[in-house]
């Protein structure tokens, strides 16, 4: 048994969260200003580049939101599924149910972000995500099992309970209240909240209810994206899950530190910073696509097919590039060419100033030279 009124949902005034509303105004302004910058940059992208950005952003979100939960899916398969859904040519590879499900949910989120949240919407997402699971009693519905829904670590004999959610019999009432609160706090709602504040509380509120038998983290992050998109009036394409994954331990620690009180200032500050960091990653990704277009405008007629293949592969790694940089071994692996040819090709790219060279011997690395 848990101690009475130990968790936030056991407090007398649950779910009336409290926070200092003026404290986060600066962060809200930064978010809105950066959102305007993103819109401005997007206008400089051609239709093809916009579609590339869309598919890449959705693919990254799908893969990383799954990885946060310890589920590893194939990025190439996910991208292939997104390409098919947006009418682009694919390699016709087989896509597993778990990959197809997360893609289906992300597309639904992207296309219907402005719609009010409903129970049916959440059930549909859950069905998409977990349709292939045979070990769950409730798929496409809120949990009904009698066992406590807990986040636990340690041994069976001496477990540490990090959190315990409301019992299953209370979930319909809790989710009815959550859905109403979500829609009331949307832009134009009777209790509208600023973008970062609303998204932060949405995430904590939903995760604390933990209404599903599994998939709560992924659906919680999707609802957060929906909240941000509604505040901006357009899909955000933020690298939210990618940013959370980079600091996953801090994310879980922050959730644990904020599940026992209705005062959520610390949580809003933490999660707002997470959203701003995700926004910055998206800004870098947009700038990277523009740099890619300019790069190939300069070098398309100056590089051979092998070099083009490698350069495209490096660009696929995004702004951070290959871990440790490109080297001769990676060049050989990508092109299936000889070491002598790889060395010559790389030397030509350096001469063209398409890449820069650092290190010597086996430590030689090559990096894209961008504006």
* pTM of the model as a whole: 0.86
C-alpha 349/C-alpha 281 separation (Å) is: 28
**Strand, helix or coil for residue 240:** helix
pLDDT bin (cut points 50, 70, 90) of residue 318 is: confident
C-alpha 263/C-alpha 16 separation (Å) is: 9
C-alpha 281/C-alpha 173 separation (Å) is: 38
C-beta neighbour count of 233 within 10 angstroms: 10
C-alpha 166/C-alpha 216 separation (Å) is: 14
* Greatest extent of the chain over all pairs of C-alpha atoms, in Å: 73
Question: If we measure between CA atoms, which residue out of 120, 137, 228, 108 comes closest to residue 175?
Answer: 120
User: Is residue 163 within 8 Å of 259, Cβ to Cβ?
Assistant: yes
Hey, what are 21's tokens? 């509303």
- Tell me how long the chain is: 371
User: Is residue 178 within 8 Å of 167, Cβ to Cβ?
Assistant: no
Tell the residue number behind the tokens 């977990």, with chain if given. Answer: 130
Hey, what are 119's tokens? 């129970």
In sequence order, what are the beta bridge partners of 365? 358
CA distance to 17, 25, 130, per residue, from 238 (Å): 26, 20, 24
Domains of the chain as residue ranges with CATH: 8-287 (1.10.3290.10), 300-368 (1.10.10.10)
Q: Over pLDDT 70: what percentage of the chain? A: 99
CA distance to 24, 39, 57, per residue, from 115 (Å): 27, 22, 21
Hey, what are 17's tokens? 């969260």
What's the mean per-residue pLDDT of the chain? 92
Residue range 10-29: mean pLDDT, rounded: 95
Hey, what are 127's tokens? 């069905």
| Residue 299 phi, psi (nearest 5) | -115, -5
**Number of C-alpha atoms within 13 angstroms, CB side, residue 347?**
6
User: Is residue 266 within 8 Å of 24, Cβ to Cβ?
Assistant: no
pLDDT 10s digits, 199-228: 999 999 999 999 999 999 999 999 999 999
Give, to the nearest 10 degrees, the angle between helix 305-316 and helix 339-351.
80
pLDDT bin (cut points 50, 70, 90) of residue 147 is: very high
pLDDT bin (cut points 50, 70, 90) of residue 234 is: very high
C-alpha 368/C-alpha 312 separation (Å) is: 11
Tell the residue number behind the tokens 């070099």, with chain if given. Answer: 307
Hey, what are 235's tokens? 């899909």
pLDDT 10s digits, 89-144: 777 788 899 999 999 999 999 999 999 999 999 999 999 999 888 888 899 999 99
Query: If residue 367 lies in a helix (H) or strand (E), which one and from where to where?
Result: strand 365-368
pLDDT bin (cut points 50, 70, 90) of residue 2 is: very low
Hey, what are 102's tokens? 């997360």
Q: Is the pLDDT of residue 81 over 80?
A: yes
């Amino acid at each position: 048994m848990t101690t009475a009124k130990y968790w936030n949902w056991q407090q007398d005034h649950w779910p009336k969260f409290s926070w200092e509303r003026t404290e986060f105004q600066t962060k809200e302004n930064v978010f809105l200003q950066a959102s305007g910058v993103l819109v401005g940059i997007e206008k400089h992208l051609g239709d093809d580049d916009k579609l590339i950005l869309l598919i890449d952003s959705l693919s990254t979100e799908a893969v990383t939101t799954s990885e946060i939960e310890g589920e590893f899916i194939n990025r190439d398969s996910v991208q292939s599924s997104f390409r098919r859904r947006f009418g682009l040519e694919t390699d016709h590879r087989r896509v597993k149910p778990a990959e197809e499900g997360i893609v289906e949910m992300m597309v639904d989120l992207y296309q219907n972000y402005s719609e009010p949240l409903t129970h049916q919407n959440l059930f549909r997402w859950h069905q998409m995500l977990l349709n292939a699971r045979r070990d769950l009693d409730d798929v496409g519905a809120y949990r009904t099992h009698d066992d406590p829904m807990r986040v636990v670590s340690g041994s069976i004999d001496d477990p540490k309970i990090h959190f315990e959610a409301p019992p299953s019999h209370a979930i319909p009432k809790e989710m009815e209240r959550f859905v109403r609160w979500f829609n009331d706090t949307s832009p134009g709602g009777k209790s509208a909240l600023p973008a970062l504040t609303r998204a932060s509380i949405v995430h904590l509120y939903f995760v604390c209810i933990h209404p599903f038998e599994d998939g709560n983290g992924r659906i919680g992050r999707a609802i957060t994206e929906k909240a941000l998109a509604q505040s901006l009036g357009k899909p955000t394409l933020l690298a939210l899950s990618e940013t959370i994954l980079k600091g996953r331990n801090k994310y879980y620690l922050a959730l644990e530190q904020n599940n026992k009180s209705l005062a959520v200032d610390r949580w809003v500050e933490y999660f707002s910073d997470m959203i701003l960091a995700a926004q910055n990653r998206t800004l870098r990704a947009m700038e990277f696509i523009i740099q890619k277009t300019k790069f190939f405008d300069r070098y398309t007629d100056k590089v051979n097919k092998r070099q083009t293949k490698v350069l495209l592969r490096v660009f696929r790694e995004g702004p951070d590039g290959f871990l440790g940089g490109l080297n001769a071994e990676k060049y050989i692996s990508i092109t299936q060419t000889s070491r002598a040819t790889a060395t010559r090709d790389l030397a030509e790219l350096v001469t063209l100033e398409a890449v820069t060279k650092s290190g010597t011997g086996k430590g030689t690395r090559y990096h894209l030279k961008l504006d």
